[in-house]
A and B are shown apart, each in its own frame.
Chain A
Amino acid sequence: MIWRYVRIYLNFLRFAASRAMQFRAELLFRVVMDVFYYSVFLGFYEILYSHTELIGGWNRAQAMVFISGFLVVDALQMTFFADMYHAFQQMYRLGALDHYLTKPISSWFFVGFRHINFGSLINVSVAVSILIWALQNYSQPLSWQAYVVYGMMIVAASFLYFLLIFALLMSIFWTESTEGPLSIYFEAVNFATRPHHIFHGVIKGILLSIVPFSVFASIPAQALFDDVGWGSVLHMLAVVAGFFLLNRWLWQRGLRRYASAQG
């Protein structure tokens, strides 16, 4: 069963690779764009740390690991999921979801994982290089298990990023438009670029659970600094599992309301 899905996914990858090679100039623009995006965050924290030693209890080296981790999460979701955000809305409006519903595999998987931007893999490698640089500047000794678990948490975080957006996108089944929720999301995702220690009270609780922006990069970074902080790992697993189940539930409910635009 799982191998069947792996095989299908490898086919998605192959198709995405051949498509990416067709538009080389756009690929270059996208790489340059993301490099500037990374520079914004690195520059931002460099300026902040020129005025202070700690922010939310983290020093400069820790903040750089944290923000570099976020950049990897962002690059991964841009590569493996972001093209789907626009495509799903188009599919819904044009009634093209029918095609996906008739296939003998999970339609949620097919819709969610079909659109891959192969060219953005270059950005993943750039972001990972920045993360490696940040980890080298982090002076505290860490076990190899901490690095492995951190890497897995970063991958899980990019999946969580997708789950959160997909849950929002599924509001289209009820509201016929996702522009409002998406614009709010892309404004609010800035919460993910700040360490969770700076937040307090209800906002912090929300950012760690209901709208889990702090789980994208801040919780994985905390797990790393704690040399495998199992509390952080379990927290993340619980949030990812919760949003996975929410996704599946919304998908089932949404499809009951779906009426093909072409039918």
Chain B
Amino acid sequence: MRWFYQVMSGQIRMRLAYPWGFWIGLGLEVFVVASINWYLWSAVLESRGGQAFPGYTLRILVLYSLITSLLRKVQVNTDQFGGIGDDIYSGSLNKYLVYPVSYFGFRYAMHLGGSLVSLVQSSLALLLFWVLFALQDMPLPGASSLIQFLVLVLLGITIRFIMNATLQTMAFWFEQVWSLLILFSFLIMLLGGQLIPLDLYPAWAREVLFYTPFPILAAWPAEALLGKMSWLTFFQVCGVACVWLVVFNVIARFSFARGVRNYSGIGA
């Protein structure tokens, strides 16, 4: 596994070489997400006569939105987003096929390296925002919340990678797959609780969504960090996530193996 560490650390070094672009983008994202949600939830609570949602004050709602937004940034490395599809279209896949390591493993190491850098940077921004803005309504997370959060984030990063990889193997047969990746992002927004806490969804929807892979990418890590997840729920969520990991891993590998048979490698 030494190669995995080397690929990952190489990606980390590359991401750290140009930090300013990330920080500027992150700062603007924090401003946009926080201000949009501040105004929106203020208007919603105002029309409810100032009555907050159980467990969610205005500041916690804004904090929740920011956490899920930053999770998206952590899971989606823009330079890796369509990497597998690009390799197939450009013919760059050729060089990976002759490497003595798994192609998905290589790509995952790159993805993980970028995500870990994003996680550290996003966490710093989130901590600053939390202390300055939300501390009066929500204390900083304790050790158990942090452990749950980190485990779920790592699971989320891995699931996002393998689901994106599955979709990108379609590039063996179709001329464009980016729309599938964007489509999947939209699903996470609505079904993953990225825009609104799942606690505000109808009970039946929450029950159904529990068994899907979407909340692991947004709502569950956010709820864990906000101290709203019991250990029992945490282990159930981890179980569901592991099932989806296996399912998508099998599909991705099957699809890739079939696709490589058709692949002509032109353009490399």
User: Measuring CB to CB, which residues of chain A are less than 8 angstroms from any residue of chain B?
Assistant: 23, 25-26, 29-30, 32-33, 36-37, 39-40, 43-44, 47-48, 50-56, 180, 183-184, 187-188, 190-191, 194-195, 197-200, 203
Question: By the criterion CB–CB under 8 Å, are B25 and A180 in contact?
Answer: yes
A25 to chain B, nearest CB (A): 5
Given A191-B32, A198-B42, are A26 and B24 also a contact pair (CB < 8 Å)?
Answer: no
User: How many angstroms from the CA of A39 to the CA of B186 in the assembled complex?
Assistant: 9
> When the two chains form the complex, which single residue of B29, B42, B179, B190 contacts A29, counting CB atoms closer than 8 Å?
B179
* Alpha-carbon distance A32/B182, docked complex (angstroms): 11
Instruction: Give the complex CA separation of A49 and B213 in angstroms.
Output: 26
Q: Is the CB of A40 within 8 A of B39?
A: no
Q: Return the chain B residue nearest A47 by Cβ.
A: B196
Q: Is the CB of A51 within 8 A of B200?
A: yes
Residues of A within 8 A of B195 (CB): 40, 44
Main secondary structure of the interface of A (DSSP, over half): helix
Interface pairs A-B: 6 shortest CB-CB: A198-B43, A33-B183, A29-B179, A36-B186, A33-B179, A54-B47
Q: Mark B191-231, 1 if CB is under 8 A from A, else 0.
A: 00001100011100000000000000000000000000000
Contact yes or no, A26 B186, CB < 8 A: no
Beyond A43-B190, A187-B32, A198-B43, list 8 extra A-B contacts (CB 8 Å). A26-B175, A29-B177, A29-B183, A47-B196, A51-B53, A56-B43, A187-B29, A188-B32
A184 vs B189: C-alpha distance in the bound complex, in angstroms?
Answer: 19
B36 within 8 A of A: yes
Cβ contact of B186, chosen from A25, A40, A48, A188, cutoff 8 A:
A40
Tell whether, in the assembled complex, residue A180 and residue B183 are in contact, meaning their CB atoms are under 8 Å apart: no
Alpha-carbon separation in the docked complex, A43 to B191 (Å) = 10
Scan B1-38; emit 1 where CB is below 8 A from any A CB, else 0. 00000000000000000000100110011001101100
B90 contacts the other chain (Cβ, under 8 Å)? Answer: no
A23-B175, A23-B176, A194-B39 given; A52·B196 CB < 8 A:
no
- B261 at interface (Cβ–Cβ under 8 A)? no
A200 touches B39 (CB 8 A): yes
Task: Assess the B189–A50 pair: CB atoms within 8 A.
Answer: no
On whether the beta carbons of A180 and B175 are closer than 8 Å, the reply is: no
Residues of B within 8 A of A51 (CB): 44, 48, 53, 200
Listed by A's residue number, 14 A-B pairs whose Cβ atoms lie within 8 Å are: A25-B175, A29-B176, A30-B179, A32-B179, A33-B183, A36-B183, A37-B186, A39-B186, A55-B40, A55-B43, A55-B47, A180-B24, A194-B39, A195-B43
Q: Which residues of B contact A194 (CB under 8 A)?
A: 36, 39-40
Say if the beta carbon of B174 comes within 8 Å of chain A. yes
CA distance A194 to B183 in the complex (A): 21
Whether A33 touches B196, Cβ cut-off 8 Å, given contacts A43-B190, A200-B39, is: no
Pairwise interchain contact A198-B39, C-beta atoms closer than 8 A: yes
- Measured CA separation A44–B21 after assembly (Å): 31
B187 at the A interface (CB under 8 A): yes
Residue of B nearest to A55 (CB): B43
Nearest to B180 among chain A residues (CB) is A29
Cβ B28 vs Cβ A184 within 8 A: yes
Contact partners of B29 in chain A: CB under 8 A: 187
Q: How far is the CA of A194 from the CA of B53 in the complex (A)?
A: 20
